[in-house]
Amino acid sequence: MNKSKILAVALSAALVGSMAAATALTASAAGVGNAEQIKDHTVGVTGSFANWGNPYDDGHTVSDTALTDEDGDGVYEGTIEIESATEDMIVEHTKDDGNENQVPTGKVGITFKVRLDGDWTDSWGEFEPDYGRTWNSQTNCCADGVKVGDSVKIHVTFDTTKNSPEAIANGDVEEGDDVDVYLLPVTYTVEIGAGSTEESSAAESSAESSAESSTESSQESSTAAATTTSSTASTATSTAPAATTDTTTPATGDTTSAVALVAVVLASLGASVVMTKKASAKD
């Protein structure tokens, strides 16, 4: 076989391999094509309460809170239960301004999104009309008003049978249109309690101690009040990291797939060059 034929065969093989890999990666990145396919996947919720599914400093991870469809009606439900909210769970809520910038919404609380199979190929949050929607373009949901030490229950509902009411109101779809997997609504209710009994008792003891101290001296009381105000302001600042949640929740699946696709194509072309050189050496 002459060199030109060997080169043609090698390049053809590389091209076929690259196209096959691209097809597989594209299918993986695109995720579910319609709402009916969701039943073949696991549905869960993660967020700032679980470090967005990423490992903590000690290496442990928190699995997604499962959403289930017990009666098979296409509506998935589950409850996030937090016994005592910690400082790192409470973050500033942001949204995309349409120019790939994250801007504050004025809310501070526990943020979260619904996703499939524990990754970001498919995810849903609040309806966001300001920019072109992708599989996981929605803004994070936010249970605002949560304070450190609060007990929290967030009941999440993910309805795969209809379009988001906000999308209908925004004119993205008409009432009665076929269900668009991009526009599935996530709704939730939030219950905020006072935290555990131990924490409540500690807070009460601290309050009683402060009250006793204040009766001893008005000057000491004023100083303590100023100190408390300063401490509160410092805490408020530390609980609002800039766009922390949105650095962990973008379409990481799409980005990873694109990088992998480039790697596959380059590897395939490299293989074809090696094959061509070997064939030339034999000739």
pLDDT tens for 232-269 read: 333 333 333 333 333 333 333 333 333 344 444 445 54
Amino acid in position 61: T
Flag whether 216 is in a domain: no
Q: Are residues 141 and 278 in the same domain?
A: no
Distances (CA, A) of 136 to 182, 205, 223, 253, 266: 8, 46, 50, 10, 28
Distance from C-alpha of 119 to C-alpha of 15, rounded to nearest angstrom:
30
Flag whether 92 is in a domain: yes
Q: Are residues 189 and 61 in the same domain?
A: yes
Q: Are residues 24 and 140 in the same domain?
A: no
Flag whether 148 is in a domain: yes
Flag whether 225 is in a domain: no
pTM equals: 0.62
Q: Are residues 73 and 2 in the same domain?
A: no
Q: What DSSP assignment string belongs to the chain?
A: --HHHHHHHHHHHHHHHHHHHHHHHHHHHH--SSGGGGGGS-EEEEEGGGGGG---TTS---PPEEEB-TTSSSEEEEEEEESS--GGG-EEEEEE-SSS-EEEEEEEEEEEEEEETTSSSSEE-B---SS---TT-SBPEEEET--TT-EEEEEEEEESSS--HHHHHTTSS-TTPPPPGGG--EEEEEEEE---HHHHHHHHHHHHHHHHHHHH-HHHHHHHHHHHHHHHHHHHHHT--TTTGGGTSS-HHHHHHHHHHHHHHHHHHHHHHHHHHHHHHH-
Amino acid in position 213: S
* Confidence grade of residue 278 (pLDDT, cut at 50, 70, 90): very low
pLDDT at 147 over 70: yes
Full residue range of the structural domain in which residue 129 is found: 31-195+236-250
* Confidence grade of residue 182 (pLDDT, cut at 50, 70, 90): confident
Distance from C-alpha of 77 to C-alpha of 165, rounded to nearest angstrom:
18
Q: Are residues 276 and 150 in the same domain?
A: no
Flag whether 154 is in a domain: yes
Predicted confidence at residue 194, as pLDDT, reads 84
**pLDDT, tens digit (0-9, with 9 covering 90-100), for 15-49:** 445 444 443 333 334 489 899 999 999 999 999 99
Distance from C-alpha of 114 to C-alpha of 164, rounded to nearest angstrom:
14
pLDDT at 198 over 90: no
* Confidence grade of residue 133 (pLDDT, cut at 50, 70, 90): low
The domain total for the chain is 2
Percent of the chain scoring above 90 in pLDDT: 47
- CB-side neighbour CA atoms (13 Å) of 1: 12
Residue range 117-126: average pLDDT?
Answer: 92
Flag whether 231 is in a domain: no
Predicted confidence at residue 105, as pLDDT, reads 93
* Confidence grade of residue 99 (pLDDT, cut at 50, 70, 90): confident
Tokens of 40: 């073949």
Flag whether 57 is in a domain: yes
Residue range 184-209: average pLDDT?
Answer: 66
Q: Are residues 44 and 10 in the same domain?
A: no
Q: Are residues 105 and 58 in the same domain?
A: yes
Flag whether 209 is in a domain: no
Distance from C-alpha of 258 to C-alpha of 256, rounded to nearest angstrom:
5
Distance from C-alpha of 238 to C-alpha of 81, rounded to nearest angstrom:
24
